[in-house]
A and B are shown apart, each in its own frame.
Chain A
């Protein structure tokens, strides 16, 4: 089994004519940029060079021909990198994107991970990483989206009621409140619609959790404030802020987590002895993803909904690259 050159024959044949425009033959096919599973996909670092890359990509999306040429060149670059040695590949690809600034990795041990084969005397079960450190951003057109939309599962928000509260009174006169000062210094209140839970502190600050959308969270927080108002406190509704949003989705194919941690080691943490999922800390947007072998992905750490969607669109091409097992 030839693991390192898993591009199908037709794609390789297309790549050879340099710069040639062959109309009628689709240069872009969904499989081609991701066929090798080696190309680390767009994890944009916060470096200004990558912002320029983004702008360049957007311009290209309006002009299809330039885009196709770009992909052909990238195809060749990918192939050249496959054949070059790992160290040389790192240097040659550096002009595409700078090495991730986040990697404060001791260089001493890089070569270990690159050359470690999973088991002796066998073909590697997943492609060995040739260009792990330099995320190459292929020019994906706008139409190439995953078609999967992450669902929001939980929103955490805070609001300031603006007055000191007597938690004992609240716990006594409200039906839906529990208060155990020895265990936790706040009243835990629940309402049925929207189904949420709130922690109300004596300083007047409140945390509202469990809503499935930003508007629901705001409505729930207002209902809690109204309950506190009716209990006789001069409650206001100040500084409502969404602190955290959690979303989840399913890509519906299994993922080789060991391969993903090898090629994206500066972002990933995979410890099967501790947790069955891979923890991927994306830099832009600043989101933490939990990726599981079943293809389910949990995204958390967002302040706005768009960050979750953007993070998923960034990770989806990477995950597709680890789909092939043979």
Chain B
């Protein structure tokens, strides 16, 4: 009770703070007399002191899950179910989507981006659990372009500060190979093309590992390499009947899309195998080419570690040995005996090829000759004549304007 106040009518001390709708009033509880009233309207100055309630607070939109977010979360769950992922993946992907949605940049993004974000969250979840899912698959499922997908993916990884491991090659090989429809005879697959799944898988794995070791995988999309390796594995398991089948036909039979780079990966892999074949005595005399080497892939893979070591000169080791010699000469005075601890430069015959990525083996591009380095201070005098060359003469300006006007007139004429 407010101290000391009495009702002017009945002199009682029972005064209550009561509000009539939004107007606060001090009322006597005995006789009902209104002693004081609050202000109904506020002045501009008063409002300046009040804390204003923002729209988002009054509608509570930040506490609730918005309709588009609900839709996105439903899409995430649907995508996980379509891909037949374990249920724990679903929860992780949903959590990532919600986490992303808390950022204002994502909340205000276009619907297309939010749709792509669904795919990104599922992909990140799969990568973190080493589930082999390619970006191509996700893009096909959410009907998105790879460019849009890549932009959103890089943005969300940076925004959430996530650590996304690389695609696991072995698991991808197993999943991708299992999708080839060659393990049972069917109307489209003749009996001689049917192959045992385990044998094909193990040989494909060995070929992919060989490709990885010989620099054919680094920096490239993994799927075309696996397609080429699967094709070679399949051919080599029964070369007599299958050498006539081309890569394109093989993919059509197996009901798998042929990725465009797969043909060049195939050629690169065959070149590596030919190099290895030259180290085997009983194959040297056969004078193999890219078709006949397929028959001997089994032997080559059996001894692949030794053959790769013998067939390819380690280009980096040679460069390093040369560099160490140079450095040894430079540091000769400081550290005595440096040269004595150098590894002996490997004496290899010139014939083995260098083990380098294909981009380093190609002849170097003809670079534009670098212009002569002239010392420029940035504060030189700029001659008037040099600037005049960039300005039109008055006659040129007139001609140009006339030509522009004629062009406009021609455009505005109706077509005959």
Contact = CB atoms under 8 A, between A and B. Distances in A.
A17 interface: no
A120 B206 CA distance: 10
Interface string A90-108: 0000000000000111101
A227 B392 CA distance: 11
Interface residues of B, number: 73
Contacts of A30: 323-324, 327
A219 interface: yes
Interface string A116-128: 1011101001000
Nearest to A118: B169
Q: Helix, strand, loop or mixed for chain A's interface?
A: loop
Given A119-B170, A172-B401, A173-B391, A222 B382 contact: yes
B170 A215 contact: no
Contacts of A182: none
Given A227-B390, A324-B316, A112 B128 contact: yes
A230 B391 CA distance: 8
B74 to A, nearest CB: 24
A252 B215 CA distance: 15
A270 B163 CA distance: 11
A75 to B, nearest CB: 15
A119 B221 contact: no
Nearest to A281: B158
Interface stretch (B270-278, B292-300, B337-345): B337-345
Interface residues of A, number: 76
Given A272-B221, A295-B360, A226 B382 contact: yes
Contact of A325 (B314, B319, B337, B388): B314
A301 interface: no
A110 B170 CA distance: 19
B241 interface: no
Contact of A120 (B134, B170, B316): B170
Interface stretch (A43-51, A55-63, A77-85, A261-269): A261-269
A253 B316 contact: yes
B219 A293 contact: yes
A303 interface: no
Interface string A173-203: 1111000000000000101011000000000
A294 B357 contact: yes
Contacts of B146: 274
A26 B205 contact: no
A276 B219 contact: yes
Interface string B255-285: 0000000000000000000000000000000
Nearest to B222: A272
Interface stretch (B25-33, B186-194, B373-381): B373-381
Nearest to A117: B170
A228 to B, nearest CB: 10
Contact of B163 (A10, A193, A256, A265): A265
B62 interface: no
B13 interface: no
A254 B215 contact: yes
Interface string B390-404: 111000110011000
A216 B163 contact: no
B309 interface: yes
A25 interface: yes
Contacts of A119: 169-170, 205, 208-209, 212
Contacts of A172: 392, 397, 400-401
The list of the 10 closest CB pairs from A to B, nearest first, reads A104-B161, A105-B163, A218-B378, A215-B378, A26-B335, A276-B219, A293-B219, A215-B376, A113-B165, A293-B218
7 contacts: A31-B324, A105-B163, A110-B163, A119-B169, A125-B209, A174-B391, A274-B146
Interface of B: 128-130, 134-136, 146, 150, 153-154, 157, 161-163, 165-170, 205, 208-209, 212-213, 215, 217-222, 305, 309, 314-317, 319-320, 323-324, 327, 331, 335-338, 341, 343, 355-357, 359-360, 371, 376-380, 382, 386-392, 396-397, 400-401
